[in-house]
Structures are given as structure tokens and as C-alpha cells.
Amino acid sequence: MPRATSYICERSAEYALVPKLAHALRQKFEWVTPIYPWISREGSNISLELHEVKSFKVLGLYARRPKLYSSNDQNIKVKISEQIVYSAQKSLELGIPAVAGCPLARNFFDLGSCDDFLWINMSKISIDDIDLVIELGPDHKASEAFDKFLIPTCDEIASLVEASSELFNIESFIRAIKEIKMAGTGYDSYIPMAFMGGYKPVYFLVGELKC
């Protein structure tokens, strides 16, 4: 049997995931800003100056691609790769809750109106789960064996952020994402060129709870 593969990249999956998750978070928090940070942009001097007085919580989103064996395959496979496991572990260690998400769509046309997603609590994923593949049937249901990893709806992700006690400012956030990136690429210290390449999550900067 051929290897399961996808028809989209992670960035295309993000375009479907980010609006859904941002909407859910905005029901609970005063402001929510999703960013895809570059050190020379979000970490620039002007950014540090503009944001130095604000504190916020952070959520990391790791986009996953829906994978199929063939065009006739009615099941969707979602893989948890090594890089995101190590990145998410460092993220959690630094006080940033992390989730993975996958739009459950089998082609471009379904993706455009997708309202069904798989959400994974990365705090439940260990190094023993590297290359774990979650398979969902035509009804988009996974085996009960995967329940311990899954978050039933994106509305419940807001509770992960709410429970996090860590507050960041712009400088501590930039330091944290450098560490997370290096953990995912296997480096012990920050290397600018390594930060520019490879896979990066989307981060949601989150304000105070609504009254």
C-alpha cells in the first residue's frame, strides 16, 4: 500500500484552523491576536517598543495536514511528527499550552467550507507517541483508543489557556519562541538561520478574560 500523503501544506491547513480557533477564544478573552512570528519583524525594535507595556497569555497551534492513501480513500490520517512533539514539550515547559489541529476535509472544495476539525492536546503527547497516526473514518470519528489525546471541540481549548498561569511580555515571548524553535530543530542554542527555516506554529496572543 502506498504511503498516506496530503494535498495541502501546513500553511493551507492554518488558513482553515486559525479563524475557527480565534473565534472560539474571542468568546472568552478581551482580545486575541494570531501571529506567525519572525524575529526580525515581531521581535524587531519597533515591536518591542510598541508592546512593552502589555502582558498576555499565549497558545501554540500546530497545524496538521489531512492525509489520504488515494483519491478513493474515505478515511483521513493525521500524523504527529517528531518535530512538533519536541517543540510542544518545550512550549509546555515554558508555560505556553499547545494544541495540534487538522481540518477534516478531503479536497480543496471541502476545505473551503470546512467546519469539522480534529483538535489534539499536545500535553497528552509524549516522545513515545512520535509518528503517532490518528485515523478517522468517513464519519470523522476516531477510535476510542485516541480519546486521551483529543479535545472534543475548539471551545474547550480556551480552558487550556485560561488554566495557564504564565504571563508574557513581548521580550519574554520572543525568548520563549526561540527556545521552542530550537527544541524542534534539535539545536541547544539559538541559531538565526535555523529559526527562519522549517516548521513553526501559529501563536495566539491572548488578553484578559472577559467580565
Domain ranges of the chain: 5-206
The residue with cell 496538521 is 64
Give this prediction's pTM: 0.93
Instruction: Return the closest-CA partner of residue 110 out of 8, 4, 34, 18.
Output: 8
Distances (CA, A) of 115 to 17, 102, 111: 9, 11, 9
What are the mean pLDDT values of the chain's consecutive 10-residue runs (211 residues total)?
90 97 97 95 92 94 97 96 95 98 97 97 97 96 96 94 95 95 74 62 96 80
The confidence score (pLDDT) of residue 170 equals 96
Instruction: Return the closest-CA partner of residue 149 out of 91, 78, 63, 204.
Output: 78
